[in-house]
Each structure stands twice: as structure tokens, then as C-alpha cells.
Amino acid sequence: MDGEPHDVPISSREHAQSLDAQDPLSHLKEQFLIPSKGQLKAESLQAASRDSASADGHDSENSIYLVYLCGNSLGPQPKLVATRLQQHLNTWSSQGVFGHFKALNQSPLPTWLDADAKASESIAPIVGAHPDEVAVMQTLTANLHFLMSAFYKPDITKRHKIILETKAFPSDHFVVETQIRHHNLNPETSMITISPPTPETPLTTDHIISILDANANDTALLLLPGIQFYTGQFLNIPLITAHARSLGIFTLWDLAHAVGNVPLQLHDWDVDAAVWCTYKYLNSGPGTIGGLFAFKNHLFKILTPSDPEQRGAQLSLQLVPGLLHVVMRELVLRSVVVDERQPDVVRVAPAPLFNSFEDCWVFVDAFAQAIEIAVKAKENGDDGKKQGIEGGELEMTS
Ligand SMILES: Cc1ncc(COP(=O)(O)O)c(C=O)c1O
């Protein structure tokens, strides 16, 4: 290939320089504020400020920039941050409350009303998700609590254990212990930790799977890191998630060290849920906002077109697999009759000749309760099939 150095050893500095010369990303370095050696030595904010330090004229160390290899801890500051923050402040000071919805010409900023949606659109390709599967919000730890509040519903007689690594990040450990205690359970009996065969060896997928298999009957949730913070090991996210799901275990991934570091395809990998922070490889600044992912199939899907011109009275609702039988049973128990199309679809048809608006309200209310009960039953390994027609199933032929 042209420009390829043929005569320099691969371990030489020249070889590294020639790779830099060909690197299509090398210009991006210019977009970051990398601290200088002089700045790092500074004892005051004034001395640390780039402008005042270089104004001294005699501090040659200010021109020596650090080889900053700590993106795994705190990414350096992008130059654009100060510009964008100032633009936000200008919008606030000049527009007041109108900043919520007035789009200014030549502004790169979304209106505040659209900021959430814009943030989801921006993060979605980075984690390989659909924008409606992600939220940019809170901190990693708070998001872990949110997701566990939604998906960890332990039953001491059935599934109640959480599995995590022995060397999990300390705050992840605290979250798990807090959640277990919140449900009046004891971490000594409801928390399982996975240790590598020796402290120095990485975890193997086989070892993780063997722990899952050994605890398959009473484990509700698995919490693992995408990339282990201590060893840097990248775990096999799709394979482990799929195995855990086959055992009825919900998997949550801590992607603090994976987001912006390795390619992620959370949707295509069928990941249940994940959380991350943005101050490491995404360079958002200390303590800034985190993110979360919940797989679309854990949300409720409407097959019927949303445009009223493209539908009649019928709504076809596709459920998460394994909920249909319990949902049908619970609807009949609440005196609501709809029909089903196996394996996962409920059809609801409020006909104008004999249904009222109140009937629709009753359905929505009953459906919400039925779904909640069905999700809980599924977590406990009950898909409602045993109850059959007596439980309320109506398999129509049309
Ligand atoms: C692997 C891992 N998990 C969790 C956290 C905690 O994140 P936060 O304090 O932003 O909630 C960190 C922070 O560095 C981390 O590295």
C-alpha cells in the first residue's frame, strides 16, 4: 500500500508515527482540551488556566501535552463544551421561558422541550438501540435502581436471587444489596457472587454459565459489566443474555466502561436492559448525566396503524412472549371480552353500535392490571397455560 513504511520495525516510534499519518480519526484530537504538564503542576485555578499560564511566557511545560490515557476514568474536555454551554446560557438569558419551544435560527441546540428526544436520537446509534429504547437521564447508579425497581420482583418461594460478580464495581454491589433488603430479603441468601477461578484470571463465559445453571430455579436477575472495570475484559453480552433468558433470568448490563469504547448492538443482541455513564469514553464531564436501555419487547406494541385513516374499530396489541394466557384470563375475570391470536396478539374491537366510551375506559383499566399480573406470573415461571379455556381463553377462528 502507498505510504506504508516497509523498512521500519513494527515496534518503532516511526512505525507509530506513520500509522498516525494514515489514521482517518487523527484530526479529532484537535477537538479536545488535553491538560499540559505545566497545568497539572499548578496549585491554583488561576495558574491552571491555560490562558494565564501561557501568558507567563516562561513556563515551557505548558506546551508539553500529556499522553492522556485515562478515557476509562474521565474523558478530557471537548473544546465545544464551553461553546455549547454558553449558547445554552445565551438562550436562557435572551429567551427566558420561550427557550422551551422556540427554535432559534442558526442555533445548533434543540429547544429544551426537544432536548430529551434529541439526546435519545444521539445516543441510540452509539449503543446500537432504537431511540425509543433508550433514555439519557440521571446517573448510572440511579438508573440501576430504576430498572431493578421495574424488573426485579423477587418471590422468596421461587425466584429471588441476584447474581453479580464478586469484583463488581462497589456501587453496583450496594445497589444489589439495597434492592434485596428493600424487598425484606437477605443478601446472604438472595445474592450470589461469581468469582474467577483465581483472582488474576478473567471470568470465562463457561464459568458464568455454570453459575447460572446451578442457580437457575431461584434466580431472578443477573447483573454483569459489559467491560470489567478492573481487568478490562469484554464479556460476551449476547451469548450470556440469551443463556440467562433461556433459564428465565433477566439480565442487566453495566456498560460504564463499554459505551464509546467497543461496538454495541443492544437491540440486535436481544439485551434485556442496560445502564451507563457518559463521563468516561463519551467525554461528557464529571458527574454528568447517565443513560439506560430497555429492550423494546419489554414495552407494549400496537400492530394497528396509528393513523385513524388507516384503521377501523380494531386495535391489535402484540404482547411480550409468554403473557397472552394470563392476560386473557385476567381480562375475563374483570368481565372484559377480547379475542386472541396465538402466540402473542390480543385484538380489541370497540364497535360503535353497542360499545361506549366507558367500555373503552374499562378495557384500558383492566388491561393494565392484567399485564401487571401476567408480567409477575411470567417472572415466577407461570405462563398461565394450565388454566386453559376455563381461565378465560377465547381462541377465535376469524
Ligand atoms: C463499572 C462502574 N459501575 C458503576 C459506576 C458508578 O457510576 P455513577 O457513580 O456515575 O452512578 C462506575 C463509576 O465509575 C463504574 O466504573
Binding region for pyridoxal 5'-phosphate: 140-141, 169-172, 254, 257, 279
Assess whether the C-beta atom of 231 lies below 6 angstroms from ligand 1. no
Do residues 291 and 276 touch, judged by C-beta distance below 8 A?
yes
What is the best residue among 70, 139, 229 to mutate for testing ligand 1's pocket, by most ligand atoms within 8 Å of CB?
A: 229
The three-class DSSP label of residue 116 is helix
**Which three cell numbers mark 215?**
442457580
Q: What is the arithmetic mean of pLDDT over 30-42?
A: 91
Cβ–ligand 1 distance for 178 under 6 Å, the answer no
Sign of the torsion angle spanned by Cα atoms 361, 366, 369, 374: negative
| CB distance 167 to ligand 1 below 6 Å | no
Contact, 14 vs 8, CB < 8 A?
Answer: yes
Identify the pLDDT of residue 388: 45
Res. 306 pLDDT band, cuts 50 70 90: confident
Angle (CA) 360-366-370 rounded to 5° is 140
Q: Which helix (H) or strand (E) holds 358?
A: helix 357-379
Q: Shortest CA distance to 235 belongs to which of 192, 280, 196?
A: 196
Mean pLDDT (whole number) for 166-180 = 97
Q: Which amino acid is at 347?
A: R
Residues β-bridged to residue 32: 78
Per residue in 248-259, pLDDT (tens digit) is 899 999 999 999
Per-residue pLDDT tens over the stretch 111-125: 999 999 999 999 999
Please work out whether the CB of residue 229 comes within 6 Å of at least one atom of ligand 1: yes
Domains and CATH numbers, the chain: 114-294 (3.40.640.10), 301-378 (3.90.1150.10)
Nearest CA to ligand 1 atom 16: 256
Q: Is 325 helix (H, G, I), strand (E, B) or coil?
A: helix
Distance from the alpha carbon of residue 279 to the mean position of ligand 1, in angstroms: 10
Task: Report the DSSP beta bridge partners of residue 234.
Answer: 227
So what's the pLDDT on residue 236?
97
**Is pLDDT above 60 for 56?**
no
Which residue is closest in CA terms to ligand 1's atom 12? 256
pLDDT for 55 equals 43
Query: Would you state the pLDDT for residue 387?
Result: 52
Model pLDDT for residues 75-95, shown as the tens digit of each residue: 999 999 999 999 999 999 999
- Indicate if the pLDDT at residue 398 is higher than 80: no
pLDDT computed for residue 17 by the predictor: 93
pLDDT at 394: 41
Average pLDDT value for residue range 139-146: 98
* 330 close to ligand 1 (CB < 6 Angstrom): no
pLDDT digits (tens, 9 = 90+) for 253-300: 999 999 999 999 999 998 999 999 999 999 999 999 999 999 876 558
At 53, the pLDDT band (50, 70, 90 cuts) reads: very low
pTM attached to this predicted model: 0.77
Please give the Cα distance from 46 to 252 (Å, whole number): 44
Atom of ligand 1 lying closest to residue 140 CA = 11
